[in-house]
Chain A
Amino acid sequence: MSMASMNVIPAAVILLALQAGSAHALDEQEQRARIEFETKKGEYQIEHSELLFKDSELNAYLQEVTDRLFPDMKDKLHVRAIRDPNFNAFAVATGGVYFNTGTLLRLDDESQLASVLGHEGTHYTGDHMYRSVHAAKSASVITLIGGFAAAGFGIPPELVGLVGYSSMMGFSRGYEREADRGGFDRMSQAGYDLRGGALAFERLDRELTVRYIDRGPYFFASHPNVKERVTNLTEFGGESPSEGEKGTDRYLAVTLRARLDALAQIHRGGDGRTLVFLLEDEKLLKSLPPESRYYLAEGFRLRAEKAKRPGKDKRSAQEIEVQRASDAARAVQEYELTLEQAPEFAPTYEALAMSHYRSGDKSRALELFQRYVELNPDQKQTGYARQYIELLSKELTP
């Protein structure tokens, strides 16, 4: 949570105390009307933001899987993809379910997708949004606390209004367990491979460890914690051994554009650690086009550049330097491999040229910059490369 939000918390607490004392208790009908009003307001904001991932084939597919899980809820549950590279999904009281492109990137197949959709749909069928607000006594408390939590966890501003009225930050442990069970039963009835959920959360657990995250807007980061969720889903699976459907091919085909978009967003955010974690998994890398290996190389480069200095890291200076040097070398290896596997993909040439320029191999750098400019006709994108070509040509001319 940012310092600024910490400073305003005491004021908010006073405000809440005043509200609690003065507001009359809402009856169920009023409370439901209020939740519906706030939810529709939040959904209107999402609808008019740039958060929605506009891919009609993908949205139709997500809806199809949801309808298969919840045949009794057709026309009540509506799923949309959201452009966000983190692992999250949430349901709201009107039946809307919002699914991050970052979650799609981290799942292997339709059975894993069904495990998340089944869980979220159960929050709706279980009336968890109303029951949670009712348990908190005051919707104002929910909104304000949710707002502060969202600010601290970097949730997009367009979603903040929904934090208190959705499953975004997780519900009580009991409700989350109920959603696990409900989702699992729905998967079973729909004929999906029941190991999907446990596998997806095992990967999430490893990612949270690698990224040093112990709390966050991650779907199961704390309600209950991911390890407990994996245990639950594995136990449920043990009760009903599965030979169910995985739906890998169709999942990978329909979600490809969204997964690549999430990957590009992680790259733009400079998060080398996450890129390396995700793409070192050969299974995920092979599910993407060959040029995606470029992002793995970039992950190693970014991780090497962000290697921390002694004092901010528990490792010794020597250990950090060994890791940095190893990452830098691995980046070059991966760029070279990308050139072999996707020789027409221009960005690799520029990145490798920069690497050689920095290491002092200027003639190889010049060659690669020239190839980059040949492959990429966009004058704006190649502006820096042309600057380097001019400089190196002068420098290397005898």
Chain B
Amino acid sequence: MSKAGIRVFVLLAGMAFAIPAMAWKIVAEGQRYTHKASGYSIQYPADWRYEKYGDFSFATRDGPCLQRIYVDFRKHKKAFRALDKDATPEMMPQELAEKIVAEMEAAGSLQNMEVLSNEPTTLAGRPAFRVHVSFRTAVDAGSVRYEGIVVGTNSPQGIFLIGYSGSVFNYFARDVDTYDKTLATFAVAELKRAR
């Protein structure tokens, strides 16, 4: 699988073995995680474990293969690596959503992928998209059924994707509300200079 493919798979299916060893931190009540380079901050659910990996951070309650909430910041250049495509600051939410879906499809590791809904929304006061998908992992990865939601918006500094994925069995439906509450805490500070 290509690096870009692994990234999509990691984000959606939470394959922990693809991520280098990490030291989990426990989210304290009211604690915000801040990403200085892009200016975003988010309050992950209290008592969940969180970690960062490059330009994305993520949190889980029971384990990344079971459920996870993540923020992925991508600069416009090579924003869609799996498609070998750039984004531009002018791209509208619908265009971003199409690219995100195409990227998931190109990953190849997500089988029977289906877009359950794709609709406009707002994120941190900006026009955004919300895509809800279902898929299975490959047969040799257990053929586990997952659902995932990605909410994304554009900005002068890059694209922000706030996602949630979980195993359909037991986890996904249970933590959707927690994800929506986390989404509401997402904020982007105006940067003096776009990076």
- A interface residue numbers (CB < 8 A to B): 2-5, 8, 147-148, 150-151, 154, 156-157, 160, 268-270, 306, 308-309, 312, 354, 357, 380, 383-384, 386-388, 391
Query: Once the chains are docked, how many angstroms separate the CA of A5 from the CA of B138?
Result: 10
Instruction: Say whether, besides A154-B111, A157-B139, A384-B120, A2 and B1 are in contact (CB < 8 Å).
Output: yes
Contact, CB under 8 Å: B138 / A384:
no
Residues in A whose Cβ lies below 8 Å from that of B115: 268
- Which of A4, A148, A269 contacts B105 (CB under 8 A)? A269
Contact, CB under 8 Å: B120 / A151:
no
Q: Is B75 an interface residue (CB 8 A)?
A: no
Query: Once the chains are docked, how many angstroms separate the CA of A270 from the CA of B109?
Result: 16
Q: Is B7 an interface residue (CB 8 A)?
A: no
Instruction: Say whether, besides A5-B140, A8-B140, A384 and B105 are in contact (CB < 8 Å).
Output: no
Contact, CB under 8 Å: A270 / B102:
yes
Residues in B whose Cβ lies below 8 Å from that of A148: 140
- Within 55-80 of B, Cβ neighbours of A (below 8 Å) are at none
0 or 1 for each of B131-164: is its CB under 8 Å from A? (1 = yes): 0000010111101000000000000000000000
Indicate the size class of the contact surface on chain B.
20 to 34
Contact, CB under 8 Å: A151 / B105:
no
Shortest Cβ gap from B144 to chain A (Å): 10
0 or 1 for each of B100-124: is its CB under 8 Å from A? (1 = yes): 0110010011011011010110000
Residues in B whose Cβ lies below 8 Å from that of A268: 114-115
Instruction: Say whether, besides A150-B139, A309-B84, A157 and B120 are in contact (CB < 8 Å).
Output: no
Contact, CB under 8 Å: A387 / B94:
yes
Tell me if A's interface is mostly helix, strand, loop or mixed. helix
Contact, CB under 8 Å: B138 / A387:
no
Query: Once the chains are docked, how many angstroms separate the CA of A387 from the CA of B97?
Result: 14
Q: Is B127 an interface residue (CB 8 A)?
A: yes
- B interface residue numbers (CB < 8 A to A): 1, 83-84, 92-95, 97, 101-102, 105, 108-109, 111-112, 114-115, 117, 119-120, 127, 129, 136, 138-141, 143
Contact, CB under 8 Å: A156 / B1:
no
Query: Once the chains are docked, how many angstroms separate the CA of A357 from the CA of B94?
Result: 12
Of chain B, the residue at the smallest CB distance from A268 is B115
- Which of A147, A156, A270 contacts B111 (CB under 8 A)? A156
Query: Once the chains are docked, how many angstroms separate the CA of A239 from the CA of B97?
Result: 56
Query: Once the chains are docked, how many angstroms separate the CA of A8 from the CA of B142?
Result: 13
Contact, CB under 8 Å: B119 / A4:
no
Shortest Cβ gap from A48 to chain B (Å): 14
Residues in A whose Cβ lies below 8 Å from that of B127: 387, 391
9 interchain pairs, CB-CB under 8 A:
A151-B140, A154-B108, A157-B143, A269-B105, A383-B119, A384-B93, A387-B94, A388-B92, A391-B127
Residues in B whose Cβ lies below 8 Å from that of A154: 108, 111
Of chain A, the residue at the smallest CB distance from B1 is A3
Instruction: Say whether, besides A270-B105, A380-B117, A384-B120, A2 and B93 are in contact (CB < 8 Å).
Output: no
Residues in A whose Cβ lies below 8 Å from that of B114: 268
Contact, CB under 8 Å: B139 / A384:
no
Query: Once the chains are docked, how many angstroms separate the CA of A358 from the CA of B1?
Result: 32
Contact, CB under 8 Å: A387 / B139:
no
Instruction: Say whether, besides A157-B112, A312-B84, A387 and B120 are in contact (CB < 8 Å).
Output: yes
Contact, CB under 8 Å: B94 / A354:
yes
Residues in A whose Cβ lies below 8 Å from that of B105: 269-270
